[in-house]
Chains A and B, each alone.
Chain A
Amino acid sequence: DQQVKQNSPSLSVQEGRISILNCDYTNSMFDYFLWYKKYPAEGPTFLISISSIKDKNEDGRFTVFLNKSAKHLSLHIVPSQPGDSAVYFCAATTTSGTYKYIFGTGTRLKVLA
């Protein structure tokens, strides 16, 4: 049972435009969400997170939106740059108890120059 889903395996965007990566979850206990970026042969790098008490968190070019009623989050990258080309993973966990982190299968973003 895949509790965190990234339904788009890949996405191509022109440099300078907005990249929108989506993630859906099923477990209503999740209240902390994270986005990671991964280059080949490297470990994931933390990008941005959001707690369920907020619906938006921004850090430079990266903004994460959370829609709790739809159990949906998205990562917006504006403007997109060629260096953003990587695989992006969303992850979810709960801040109560010691629940593990559940990762999506990733979306490969390609930013075209």
Chain B
Amino acid sequence: KAGVTQTPRYLIKTRGQQVTLSCSPISGHRSVSWYQQTPGQGLQFLFEYFSETQRNKGNFPGRFSGRQFSNSRSEMNVSTLELGDSALYLCASSLQGRGETQYFGPGTRLLVL
């Protein structure tokens, strides 16, 4: 079974631009979560989608948004990029998102200049 895939793997943007990241979960997984990892901060939860609905949300500004499609693929959008948005963005999927093992993709490394 193919793992979680994320595209693109690397991205360079400038301040003020917007970016869209994509995540394809493991086949059959309906829950997709997004995390931001910065040095020393661990993995900060952004949001979780299940059946095309945002079910959980972390403490990030409204510039961070996401959506999920009927095939469970998910996208994350960051508008008006700031230097502090430079990070590794990770996507994880699980079957139902109810206390199960989450499996992570390789991440998208975003650099904002």
Contact = CB atoms under 8 A, between A and B. Distances in A.
Nearest to A93: B99
Contact of B43 (A32, A44, A46, A94): A44
Q: Give the size category of B's interface with A.
A: 20 to 34
B45 A44 contact: no
A106 B56 contact: no
Nearest to A30: B99
Interface residues of A, number: 27
A65 B94 CA distance: 24
Contacts of A95: 98-99
A101 B102 contact: yes
- The binding surface of chain A is classed by DSSP as loop
A105 interface: yes
Contact of A100 (B33, B100, B101, B106): B33
Nearest to A90: B42
A84 interface: no
A43 B99 contact: no
A46 B101 contact: yes
Given A34-B102, A43-B4, A98-B55, 8 more contacts: A32-B100, A42-B106, A44-B104, A94-B99, A96-B99, A98-B48, A98-B50, A98-B56
